């Protein structure tokens, strides 16, 4: 199903937030349904706002801004790329998407913007004591960089394995099966950067 095109706002009309709202929603990987539930605004209304077919009330804009974790002023002054005119987009902690392993022992918070996925990604990785994050081989040439922020972890890439303590960084090929584990007794956290081949 194709969506009708976004209408251009009138030059002398109220600020049209459609493109900015859509960009912010997509940046946070929210569907129209997700944002509708989070903001308490109907899906059809959101669709009309994003296509600049209707001008939302201040109350609706306030609910949308809160649901996206931004200030109302930032939503009104955002450019078509969803960035505030001042150049700094702030993402609130509750708006950062995350992935959990089936056993709940590993969590990856997706810190990078969705438009960089598949090229350059970075995550905050938290592994509970005894937890293991096992990954299949990524595409040829993919590299990972793991910097331990607290606790200790070990990395196995192919046949090689290294133990890392707080403050240490491992750089390794991720185009082979690889595993990150926490063999310690305390929760460990790390910054995980994935660099895909150009």
Q: Is residue 189 part of a domain?
A: yes
Report the half-sphere exposure of 35 (CA within 13 A, side-chain side). 27
Asked if the structure places residue 179 within a domain, the reply is yes
Q: Is 3 inside a domain boundary?
A: no
The answer on 163 and 108 residing in a single domain is: yes
Q: In the sheet where 143-150 sits, what is the strand order?
A: 98-100, 106-110, 120-127, 188-195, 143-150, 169-173
The continuous run of DSSP H or E covering 43 comes out as: helix 43-50
Q: Which pLDDT score, from 0 to 100, does residue 83 have?
A: 53
Domain boundary among 58, 85, 112: 85
**8 Å CB contact between 151 and 189:** yes
Do both 106 and 65 map to the same domain? no
Of 85, 108, 131, the last residue of a domain is: 85
Q: What is the mean pLDDT of each run of 10 residues along the chain (198 residues)?
A: 42 61 85 90 88 81 86 66 60 80 90 79 95 94 97 96 96 96 95 92
Shared domain check, 119 and 58 = no
Residue 118, pLDDT score: 78
Domain limit, last residue, from 35, 60, 85: 85
pLDDT attached to residue 16: 59
Q: What is the pLDDT of residue 57?
A: 80
Same domain (yes/no): 121, 189: yes
Assign residue 67 the CATH number of its domain: 1.10.260.40
Is 161 within the bounds of a domain?
yes
Whether residue 10 is contained in a domain is answered as: no
Question: What is residue 28's predicted lDDT score, i.e. its pLDDT?
Answer: 85
**What pLDDT sits at residue 77?**
65
Domain that holds residue 167: 97-195
Does a structural domain hold residue 12?
A: no
Question: For residue 36, is it within any domain?
Answer: yes
Domain tally for the chain? 2
CATH number of the CATH domain containing 190: 2.60.120.10
- Flag whether 90 is in a domain: no
Q: Contact at 8 Å (CB) between 47 and 32?
A: yes
Sorted by sequence, the CB contacts under 8 Å of residue 49 that are 6+ apart come out as 17, 18, 21, 56, 60, 64
What pLDDT is stored for residue 90 in this prediction? 73
């Amino acid at each position: 199903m194709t969506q009708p095109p976004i209408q251009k706002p009138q030059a002398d009309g109220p600020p049209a937030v459609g493109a900015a709202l859509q960009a912010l929603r997509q940046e946070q990987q929210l569907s129209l349904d997700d944002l509708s539930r989070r903001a308490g605004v109907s899906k059809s209304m959101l669709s009309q706002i994003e296509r600049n077919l209707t001008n939302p009330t201040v109350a609706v804009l306030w609910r949308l801004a809160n649901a996206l974790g931004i200030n109302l002023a930032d939503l009104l002054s955002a450019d078509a790329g969803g960035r505030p005119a001042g150049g700094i987009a702030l993402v609130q902690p509750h708006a950062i998407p995350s992935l959990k392993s089936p056993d709940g022992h590993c969590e990856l918070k997706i810190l990078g913007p969705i438009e960089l996925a598949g090229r350059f990604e970075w995550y905050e990785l938290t592994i509970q004591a005894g937890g293991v994050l096992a990954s299949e081989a990524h595409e040829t040439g993919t590299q990972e960089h793991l910097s331990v922020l607290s606790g200790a972890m070990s990395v196995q890439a192919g046949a090689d394995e290294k133990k890392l303590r707080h403050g240490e960084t491992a750089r390794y090929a991720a185009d082979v099966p690889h595993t990150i584990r926490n063999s310690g007794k305390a929760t460990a956290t790390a910054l995980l950067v994935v660099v895909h081949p150009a």
